[in-house]
A and B are shown apart, each in its own frame.
Chain A
Amino acid sequence: MGVIMETGPAVGGLMRRFLASLRDGVGFDILLVGAAMVFLIAMAGLPLIYNVLMSFQQVDMFTLGSLIRPWAGFQNYIDVVREPAFWLVAKNTFIFVFFSMGGQFVIGFALALFFAQNFPGASTIRGLFLVSWVMPGLVVGAIWSWILAGDFGVLNTILKGLGIIQSNVFWKSDPAFSIWAVVIANIWLGLAFNMLLLSVGLAAIPRDLYEAAELDGANALQRFWTITLPMMRSTIGAVLSLGLIGTLQQFDLFPAITEGGPANTSTVAQYWSWQMSFQLYDFAKGATISVMMLVLVLIASIIYVRSTRHEVRG
């Protein structure tokens, strides 16, 4: 009894102090950071670690429910590389990433430069371009699937009308074109995002630098090479890194346009990983492929973070 009498007020005081610090002290900051940390660890961190772990384990129907499974070492990685489709998928992934990013960046940059020219309505029209970015990938995929359709697609009609092709090209089912069909759709999808980021970068370059360069004797091309590009260095680094991540994440277009076919000629790593895990139920290989991609994204992220650290302005 006496003990309780003594500790009661002390505990109450502690509680009050804790609540007070939550209201207006450092406790509130910890609470906010803590909520974010819990969310990150639970929703991103643990699944990521579990995924990496799984890529080093033997996973089958009998061990699916357990966390600790027979250790496989690098066997899953060896198996994935030995898959007959591996090099085809690697090549497709490279084509998809390189040309999607290249197309998005070059056309996005051109559009950003175009809309930086301050003609009437420039910012309004630029805003409209964002529509493509807002649209769900599956919807974009469905639309491009129709545009690219071999027998009734509008692209074939246009190309034939212009006399560029004589007979229909079966974009989605011809092994020579299937990956390009998805690349075209993906360029369209990511264009607005690239253009927007690059527009922001362009707008941040002071106008008087161009004027000074102009008086120093630089023509438009020289101004682009000696002022615009170097001043955009960090923006370009960010756009390319985010572009790489975004392209490696791009999934919706594949089921909507080619489903990876024909004969895996348009399968890329992320789609392959999904097929392994959720169509063939080979979770170990699916996890392994995604870890391989994770390493690539990680490298891109490091480049991105470093490029934003090297701000030259000021």
Chain B
Amino acid sequence: MTAQIELKNIDKHYGAFHALKKVSLSIEKGSFVALVGPSGCGKSTLLRSIAGLETITSGDLHIAGKEMTGVPPRHRDIAMVFQSYALYPHMTVEENLTYSLRLHGVGKAEAKAKAAEVAATTGLSALLSRYPRQLSGGQRQRVAMGRAIIRNPKAFLFDEPLSNLDAALRVQMRKEIRALHDRLGATSVYVTHDQIEAMTMADWVVVMRDGVIEQQGRPLDLYDQPVNRFVAGFIGSPAMNFVDGVISEDGRGVVVGAGDRIPLARQAEPNRKVVAGVRPENLRVAEGAASFHFEVGNVESTGSATYLTSKDGALQLVQTERLGFSVGDRVGLDIDPALVHLFDPQTGARI
């Protein structure tokens, strides 16, 4: 495997604002990488820097082994799908698809044939003579994708491409984009604020915050081994519960209240203040003696799952069975000690 896109110590300043701080990232050829993080974390800036739409303040950027720092976007051989799709409103679908080919002097007949081919793979064959304003959101999305793939570029960049679609279509397009990626053997970089999209689509997830890469890795590794409290809280839905506590005298549990203690699978430093992280789906309602308790503040049932939220809002629990609890009930809880994460209360780093 070779790196198709290689970023080394990328810095980006907007005036006084430090948008990207020494970002280094290597994107393998053929991989699907998701950049994920809250708004303003720098993920879009990073993507636009790869495209050349933003100039980086310092650092090295290589695409397919070539230095790209000073190269204008049109010479980078990269395709991008915009959040707004950025279809050319005054061109038909076919003209939108063939725009780049026509710019590069490809003959009319050849461009037409290629457009037909791409339209067939993206399901646009019947729409070639329409204008973008005559298309639905999902169809526009497909045109944007078609416009990207017709060029056979070195990499595909996606900037939150699904955020303007309704929920059902989003799930469908998620699969289509991933299937397309696999079929083309393309290299894709996908920016999203939706961690579900990142987890389900990508081979490699990069979590960013405040211009810094907090963690990168395979989706399930991020879920199982978050390096800090931010990543732990960001990945997974519903979000991980965080409970303040102190490690017990014997170092085998976290004392979180009167008589309540979350068990640990390993020995920890006694009397140390920690934040225990437990995922809502890992909590179980205790059948026998419970290790800790909470008071039910809210019960939500979706049919397939039951969500219980504690009275103080600090804890949430998801169970796939139907639970007959009501507000005010005191519930005993249990957890597999191996699934408890510990974080430092000051730095948020994993312990």
**CB neighbours of B99 from chain A (8 A):** 213, 216, 218, 226
Residue in A206, A219, A222, A312 whose CB lies within 8 Å of B90: A312
Task: List residues 189-232 of chain A with CB under 8 A from any CB of chain B.
Answer: 206, 208-209, 211-219, 222, 226-227, 230-231
Q: Which residues of A contact B73 (CB under 8 A)?
A: 211, 214-215
The interface on chain B, measured as residues whose beta carbon lies within 8 A of the other chain's beta carbons, has a size of 26
User: Contacts A215-B51, A217-B104 known; A313 to B74 CB distance under 8 Å?
Assistant: no
- A214 to B72 Cα, complex, angstroms: 8
Known: A208-B84, A211-B53. A216 touches B74 (CB 8 A): yes
Q: Any chain A CB within 8 A of the CB of B8?
A: no
Which of B52, B76, B88 gathers the greatest number of chain A CB atoms within 10 Å?
A: B88
Say if the beta carbon of A8 comes within 8 Å of chain B.
no
Residues of A within 8 A of B51 (CB): 211, 215
Query: Is B82 in the interface zone, CB < 8 Å from A?
Result: yes
Q: For the complex, what is the distance from the CA of A132 to the CA of B233, rounded to whole Å?
A: 60
B74 engages A215 (CB within 8 Å) = yes
Contact with A along B82-110 (1 / 0, CB 8 A): 10101111100000000110011000000
Partner of B82, one of A208, A217, A222: A208
- Which has the most chain B C-beta neighbours within 10 Å: A206, A211, A212, A214? A212
Rounded to whole Å, the gap between the CB of B14 and the closest CB of chain A is 13
Residues of A102-116 contacting chain B, CB below 8 A? none
Number of A-B contacts (CB under 8 A): 67
Give the chain B neighbours of A214 by CB distance below 8 A: 52-53, 72-74
Contact B88 A227 (CB under 8 A): yes
B78, B87, B132: the one contacting A215 at CB < 8 Å is: B78
Chain B residues whose CB sits within 8 angstroms of the CB of A213 once the complex forms: 88, 99
Please, which residue of chain B has its CB at the minimum distance from the CB of A216?
B100
Task: Confirm or deny: A9 has a beta carbon within 8 angstroms of a beta carbon on chain B.
Answer: no
B79 at the interface (CB under 8 A from A): yes
Q: Which of A208, A209, A218, A313 contacts B103 (CB 8 A)?
A: A218
Q: How far is the CA of A26 from the CA of B342 in the complex (A)?
A: 71
Judging by beta carbons under 8 Å apart, are A218 and B74 in contact?
A: yes
**A65 CB within 8 Å of chain B:** no
- Whole-angstrom distance from the CB of B96 to the nearest CB of chain A? 9
**B80 on the interface (CB 8 Å rule)?**
yes
Point out which of A208, A216, A226, A231 has the most chain B C-beta atoms below 10 A from its C-beta. Answer: A216
Option from B86, B131, B147, B151 in Cβ contact (under 8 Å) with A209 = B86
Q: Is the C-beta of A314 less than 8 angstroms from some C-beta in chain B?
A: yes
Task: List residues of chain B with CB within 8 A of the CB of A314.
Answer: 89, 132-133
Residue of A nearest to B150 (CB): A216
Which residues of the partner chain A approach B151 to less than 8 Å between Cβ atoms? 216
Min distance, Cβ A311 to any Cβ of chain B, angstroms: 10
Q: Which of A16-71 contact B (CB under 8 A)?
A: none
Tell me if B74 and A209 are in contact (CB < 8 A).
no
Q: Across the interface, name the chain A residue whose C-beta is closest to B81.
A: A212
A21 CA to B151 CA in the complex, in Å? 65
A226 cross-chain contacts in B, Cβ below 8 A: 88, 99, 103
Bound Cα distance A213, B82 (Å)? 12
Which of B79, B84, B90 sits near A230, CB closer than 8 Å?
A: B90
Known contacts A215-B52, A217-B103, A226-B99; 14 further A-B pairs (Cβ under 8 A): A209-B88, A209-B89, A211-B73, A212-B147, A213-B99, A214-B52, A215-B79, A216-B74, A216-B79, A216-B99, A216-B100, A230-B90, A231-B89, A231-B90
4 A-B pairs with the lowest CB-CB distances in the bound complex, closest first: A216-B100, A212-B86, A208-B86, A230-B90
**Can you name 19 A-B pairs with beta carbons within 8 Å?**
A208-B82, A211-B53, A212-B86, A213-B88, A214-B72, A214-B74, A215-B53, A215-B73, A215-B80, A216-B74, A216-B79, A216-B99, A216-B151, A218-B99, A219-B74, A226-B103, A227-B88, A233-B90, A314-B89
A interface vs B, CB < 8 Å? 206, 208-209, 211-219, 222, 226-227, 230-231, 233, 312-314
